[in-house]
Structure 1
């Protein structure tokens, strides 16, 4: 659990760092403008990483089911860490013109491929080691690394944003990315001693592995793949609107200081470290479907008040908005997710099923969320369509969860 979670923190530090930078600096640095068009272009490169995630999910899902969970986690750590560090070394648009965003996109694709295998590998490592009645809690422990990684990314970016604006844009923004060189060394060291799960070891011992796990999954359990995609929709839409769109919206439209927003998100993400396993444990007690349904209702009810709190421009109320939105609304849905999606599939195809379904959902609904949110707001001048977009995501997830059976008692 420790090795899996530490690595997940490092991976999601890298992945979330890009989201912060795409909202705050990539527009002027890599697209030569601070306009809405440049922000949209920046968010488009953010979405490219999500488009690459299904590729990583398919490739690493096959490797995870054929070779083992441990090998995948080492490879994803190396690819993610090195591609993130290299972002900090890129020349800007002012230096090489159109070549700058092209290089940025290439590295973002590498990030997306790596993270496509990370979540499934890390959570399956713990879910398949969990004692009876504790899969929700055990699966949520590495998942809390997503929150911890965002804390780390937000805190580092928040400190760097205190630099004078010129220094921040010239060289300061590079520091959080270059730190990844050290983090990847630490992450690989932490994961090098991981052992395979008892479930996979039994498959190897009995020679019961499937030659083409994804094809077997699509032939025998297509509904589980589609259901996994649906289960992820609300968390992806709401989560990435919060972490990327609202940063751009609140700084450019509401004139809220970057540092205020970054520290508000960092506080909320810190609370997520405890909230994600808490909601996973709750799902072990009262069931996955009931826990997720409560979270979806809370999200749909709070999305409009969330924007109203931001519009007050009051620092305490901005902090309150993020504290309710992330560790309560979002994580009540996200906390049980690792166990819920793992329980949809047989052990011999579980890595392929989870990673493919989840990462296709991420590509369709996560990476596009900041772009769609920005476009909706730009075309209407209101956050009401953005709120309706979040509610629609909640409805899709609710349907996906309740078309399947309750799995917490299995």
Structure 2
């Protein structure tokens, strides 16, 4: 391939990966918003704390299913290639999300409503379990020397863009009268997934395989059972990958799900105010995530992550104090600092950092398995644990200490590995 063609291919791959990631994370984040705002009364028959906990439990189920997707799609990604996996995951996610929009509620079918909801959430979890690794590996493995942090962060910013889209759509729908919102309005964002998935598949249809995977194929280095090989030869890398993701999962989903429920139910802040605050912060993430990935190429992954963890630790108590003011400008400020600054300083370098832990022939399995097990243990449980801690103590302090513990685990994981930015 000529020098002129190579950058053009890299740009096409980056755009296709990012567009698809936006679509998938729109779908996945919709569920988090709905679990905080509507699933309690609609699918569990109550607006009580118990119903909110039950709703967040189904949210966690999606994360519990993610390692299944990580293992399955990781195997496919290392055996048949990155690009094929990304088409499958997008189709599965889109169908599952759209079907949530046509589910009958508890008032109509009783216990079958939460059961069907859980089944679709599991399907979402399995699909997204292969998405992050596939999309980021496509760009990291196509990146020019010294730019893996930036290239890996660009599709990762699709997580922020997907949340912007989900928050904005849900924010608009939440302006409907309460009766209309609960009876049919909440379904609209889920039904939109039918159109989005078609667009996403169209964007990804022409993706080419990465040169790294093509080289593995040509040299006959593919491993028959990539995950088993990884666990036998690089078990520390899998554990380290889990640790690298802890703080981002805990802090991110406490902000996006627990804080939304807490501020609505305990502080009586209008949900539209919160949704627009999160949408603004997520909009800023679109620039922040690649920025911090790029900075990590310059100053190193470990230093960038350490700065982000320190910033998060210093801001966790002020974040909740700003919410308790019930002042709209201060609520917006809380989310703007919490997400594009605190969270994304850690998240921006993450794609390159976890990819750099593994050999190319088992990289998809290693990244997806380690990351998604971390998501199941620490991400999906975060809103449930946060709600349980606050409900049991009547205080936000245990929730803040929970975040600090997560930051400590990530710091240990990052600094037990070597610096990889300049390899």
TM-score tier, shorter chain, comes to over 0.9
Partners of 2:265 and 2:219 in 1: how far apart?
59
Matched, 1:37 2:27: no
1:194 paired residue among 196, 203, 207: 207
Q: Which runs of 5+ in 1 are unaligned?
A: none
1:387 paired residue among 391, 394, 400: 400
Counterpart mapping for 1:249-268 below 5 A: 249-268=262-281
- The equivalent of 1:104 in structure 2 is 117
SS of the aligned residue for 1:302 comes to helix
1:232 paired residue among 223, 233, 245: 245
- The equivalent of 2:16 in structure 1 is 3
- The equivalent of 1:177 in structure 2 is 190
After superposition, give the CA deviation of every residue in 1:307-344 in whole Å (9 maximum; x if it has no partner).
00000000000000000000000000000000000000
- Following superposition, the deviation at residue 60 of structure 1 comes to 0.2
Partners of 2:216 and 2:311 in 1: how far apart?
41
- The equivalent of 2:81 in structure 1 is 68
- Following superposition, the deviation at residue 206 of structure 1 comes to 1.2
- The equivalent of 1:377 in structure 2 is 390
Partners of 1:202 and 1:16 in 2: how far apart?
36
Runs of 4+, deviation exceeding 2 Å: none
Matched, 1:139 2:152: yes
- The equivalent of 2:138 in structure 1 is 125
Partners of 2:325 and 2:48 in 1: how far apart?
24
- The equivalent of 2:345 in structure 1 is 332
- Number of corresponding residues: 410
Matched, 1:346 2:365: no
- Following superposition, the deviation at residue 207 of structure 1 comes to 1.3
- Following superposition, the deviation at residue 55 of structure 1 comes to 0.2
Partners of 2:17 and 2:370 in 1: how far apart?
21
Q: Which runs of 5+ in 2 are unaligned?
A: 1-13
- Following superposition, the deviation at residue 35 of structure 1 comes to 0.1
- The equivalent of 1:162 in structure 2 is 175
- The equivalent of 2:104 in structure 1 is 91
- The equivalent of 1:27 in structure 2 is 40
After superposition, give the CA deviation of every residue in 1:330-364 in whole Å (9 maximum; x if it has no partner).
00000000000000000000000000000000000
SS of the aligned residue for 2:236 comes to helix
Partners of 1:202 and 1:406 in 2: how far apart?
25
- Following superposition, the deviation at residue 205 of structure 1 comes to 1.1
- The equivalent of 1:58 in structure 2 is 71
Partners of 2:415 and 2:219 in 1: how far apart?
35
